[in-house]
Amino acid sequence: MPVERASERAHDAVLRHIEDSLRSGGLKLGDRLPGERALAEQFGISRASVRDAIRALEVMGIVRSATGSGPNAGTIVVSDPSSALGSALRLHVASQRLPVKDIVEARVMMETWSLAHAADAEWEPGQAEEARRLLEAMDDPGLPSPAFTALDAQFHVALSALAGNSVVSTMMDSLRESIRGYVDDAVSTRGQWHDIVGELRRQHWEILEAVEARDGERAARLVQEHIEWFYARTL
């Protein structure tokens, strides 16, 4: 069995190797990592340490592992940063280390910036139409509140993506998902859903109208009012 390195956690060598390979282009999205045995022999560590490294990469959203055989088996480089960031933020919000108020303020900063800049950005085909389809789905009067809030999250992420900044989009996605638990709890425990859902729909359509008109200043103002209004109503 390989001798573990005493000066560092054994699996750190694997993590650094993956990082360096991604930077250099030696590894790309869709590539498959070598098997546990090959990695263990390459780095002189145990297969258990290799498994620890793979699990860490999965948590970070860098790879996806699947057992069995076939084209989807093994450990594949996928890169899903919003999932990893969102999970970490949700846990820290749950631990009360990150106050919901601060998360909401960060959302306001991200979304107002995004909608202000979306006005002058080049949109990918179908981006604005996707936001409209989400609002049309939310107009269903029989839609349960958890389904509505899930679509709501997708709508805000879709609008933020119009600015064309992938880092902002990823952070926005993570911030929005980090307060999904708070939103769902506020909706279910405060008994105000039927009182506010109509206003949420109206605000959403007004925001989209400003976005489609390429009125960045108005869109940014409306989304800030929308976020702060909901937060104030559900305190």
Q: Do residue 189 and residue 216 come from a single domain?
A: yes
Neighbours of 59 (CB within 10 A): 13
* pLDDT score for 155: 94
Q: Which residue has the tokens 């989209």?
A: 208
Confidence of residue 95 (pLDDT cuts 50, 70, 90): low
123 in a domain, yes or no?
yes
The CATH number covering residue 43 comes to 1.10.10.10
In this prediction, residue 21 carries a pLDDT of: 87
Indicate the pLDDT class of residue 27, thresholds 50, 70 and 90.
Answer: confident
pLDDT at 156: 93
Q: How far apart are CA 49 and CA 8, in angstroms?
A: 12
Q: Are both 27 and 103 inside the same structural domain?
A: no
Same domain (yes/no): 37, 150: no
CATH number at residue 131: 1.20.120.530
* Domains of the chain: total: 2
Q: How far is CA 122 from the centre of its chain?
A: 22
| Mean predicted confidence (pLDDT) in 160-167 | 92
pLDDT band at 1 (very low <50, low <70, confident <90, very high): very low
Q: How far apart are CA 200 and CA 191, in angstroms?
A: 15
Of the chain, the percentage scoring pLDDT greater than 90 comes to 34
The answer as to whether 227 is a domain residue is yes
The type of residue at 212 is E
pLDDT digits (tens, 9 = 90+) for 101-110: 888 898 899 9
Q: Read off the DSSP letter of residue 192.
A: -
- Please compute the mean of the pLDDT values over residues 92-103 and round it to a whole number: 75
58 & 106 share domain: no
Whether 1 is covered by a domain: the verdict is no
Nearest to 62 by CA among 107, 17, 5, 98: 17
Q: Give the domain range for residue 222.
A: 82-233
98 to 104, 172, 184, 234: CA distances (angstroms)? 11, 16, 18, 18
Report yes or no on 27 lying in a domain. yes
Residue 216 placed within a domain: yes
Is pLDDT above 50 for 4?
A: no
pTM: 0.72
Confirm whether 127 is domain-assigned.
yes
